[in-house]
Amino acid sequence: MVFMQSNLLEMINYFFQSLSRNFFLILLKFNFKRTQNYSFNDLNFKQSDLTNYKLIKNYVLKDNFIKNISITNIHTFDFILLYQKIGGKKGIDLSKINIFTWFEKYKFYKNFLWKDDYSSKRFINIVYNYDFLCSISNEKEIKKIKYILNFHIRRIVYEIKRKKPEDISSFEFLALILIECIQKNYNISLVNKINEIINLQIDECSMHRSYNILEHVRFLNNLIEVKNIFLFFNKKTPLILNKNILAMTSLLKTYRHDDFSLPLFNGCNNNHIDEIQKISEREQFLRTKPLTSFKNGIAVYKDINKVLFFDVVQPTKFGYHKELSASSLAIEISAGGEKIITNCGGSEGSGKNPAYLKYSAAHSTIVINNTNISEIKEREINKTFPKEVFYETKDEEETKILSGTHNGYLLNYKKICKRKIIISKKNNFFIGEDTIISSKSNIDKNVFHIRFHLMPEISTTVTENKKNVIIKTKKNSIWMFKSNNEIIIENSIFVKNDIAIQTSQIVISGITSSLKNKIQWSLEKI
């Protein structure tokens, strides 16, 4: 009954939102509001360049690329940044042709081109490149560019007003601040909005709640640009802005492997690793932020020799969790300046992370019946995910113990998964205990796989008893992986620069045959 009432309320809400949007678009068509003559000169606040130019080059050379809906990056107008690099009359003309063509075709669309943050990204890209676009444009073209910007302002403000603060992306946040300052609407209400969005989207450890370190960097970069906007317009910078910029920058030093690569959770990739390194070094005297109050997210263990990352994120239905992968209890390990255990990684190849790279099997975690821990939906917040993810840690004299539990398989298979990792503080030695617990007395036999994806250029040899694997790294370090179950080596992929490279994975498999199935494994340098 409650479920039916909830669905009915959702349908009613959707109906009224659709009706409101249709009415709003009719007003726009009849130019209900006059175009305002705002000044857009000298408003380039670009800080760090996190643009995927390889992606842009792949589509800008195609005929009528601007009409392609499947490559979402096209609709952010990132192509202007590439055309600016080309420069001169050619770069300006190509930018204007594609902006004007896009606007004529899509300006009254109701779908994701306006409801998501693509409109904010378009607005930011045009404003930041306004002087470039207008440098050799005639009066008619400049007037058209201004009209497009004003049109975006109306639609962005309309959409953001109807969103909950936790569903507003950092680009929408940046666009909103820029719009309010252009319109001279800086007031206490705007400051309160800033406080609310930051407090909701940044956790107690100063990590962005997407738990994707690349998204963390983008949010940080946009906060820095917001600060620059306030300085430009001679407005007082809210204290929470400065505080979080420092704390989030400090955290970057924690979320790196020994080879300076990023942990590949929730769609993260290493396409922008050099730029991120510059950001982390910008505050020269900033210390690494200790995770003293860690409760939820990507847990970290670090010492002078090794690093381990552990996914114990508690998913929610908030917008910032829309891109979470089905990777609960997944790990990554590096030691001696090189990464060993990894997740498959993310790709921006078509402007978004492909769904299959979010699957549980693409992560170094426990998988039951080859199904995902969380439901994967394109452009939707996952409707089914672990309702309870527990994390605890124990600090002993010679070891650190990290433990995580989730109930993502409870509904389908009546199983709870637990992973305990014992880390030697003195040696390069990890012990793992993966437990699959049945929540009912009559045991259903389910197939399980525990996957450990290996970095490319790592070679493996399975010993005769099929319970040990000798691992040889790129730097010729030798590690021994052991288990109390039989082990096989399967093919895997690792995404590097948006290209899937073939690699291998260690797989422990079996069938749940008791109330508690405990699988032990270890990884040790020899």
What is the pLDDT of the chain when averaged over all its residues? Answer: 90
pLDDT digits (tens, 9 = 90+) for 86-131: 989 999 999 999 999 999 999 998 878 998 899 999 999 999 999 9
Is residue 12 scored above 80 in pLDDT? no
Query: Which residues are CB-contacts of 93 (< 8 A; sequence separation ≥ 6)?
Result: none
Q: What is the mean pLDDT of residues 8-31?
A: 71
Q: How confident is the model at residue 32 (pLDDT cuts 50, 70, 90)?
A: low
Q: What is the pLDDT of residue 501?
A: 95
In angstroms, rounded to a whole number, what is the distance separating the alpha carbons of residues 178 and 161?
Answer: 15
Three-state DSSP state, 105: helix
Q: Is the CB of residue 326 less than 8 Å from the CB of residue 358?
A: yes
Bridge partners, 317 (sequence order): none
* pLDDT band at 197; cut points 50, 70, 90: very high
CB contact at 8 A, 17 and 115: no
- How large is the greatest C-alpha to C-alpha distance in the chain, in angstroms? 79
Residue 285 has pLDDT above 70, yes or no: no
The token pair that represents 410 in the structure block = 């409870």
Query: Is 148:103 a contact under the CB 8 Å cutoff?
Result: yes
User: Closest by alpha carbon to 309, among 385, 387, 213?
Assistant: 213
pLDDT per residue as tens digits for the range 435-467: 999 988 777 789 999 999 999 999 999 999 999
Percent of the chain with pLDDT over 90: 72
- What is the pLDDT at residue 33? 57
Q: At what angle do helices 273-282 and 213-232 cross, to 10 degrees?
A: 50
The confidence band for 2, taking pLDDT boundaries of 50, 70 and 90, is very low
Asked if residue 417 lies in contact with residue 305, where contact means CB atoms within 8 angstroms, the answer is no
Q: Contact, 431 vs 482, CB < 8 A?
A: no
Q: What is the pLDDT of residue 3?
A: 42
SS (H, E, C) 200-245: HHECCCCCECCCCHHHHHHHHHHHHHHHHHHHHCCCCCCHHHHHHH
Confidence of residue 495 (pLDDT cuts 50, 70, 90): very high
pLDDT given for residue 70 in this prediction: 87
pLDDT band at 508 (very low <50, low <70, confident <90, very high): very high
- What whole-number distance in Å separates Cα of residue 277 and Cα of residue 271? 12
Tell me the pTM.
0.92
Q: Tell me: the pLDDT tens digits for 398-432?
A: 999 999 999 999 988 999 999 999 999 999 999 99
The region, left, alpha or beta by phi > 0 then psi within -120 to 50, assigned to residue 39 is beta
> 229-233, 290-294, 457-461: lowest mean pLDDT where?
290-294
Q: Is the pLDDT of residue 8 over 70?
A: no
How many beta carbons lie within 10 A of that of residue 339, not counting itself? Answer: 23
Of all residues in the chain, the percent with pLDDT exceeding 70 is 94
User: In this structure, are residues 412 and 370 in contact, taking their beta carbons and an 8 Å threshold?
Assistant: no
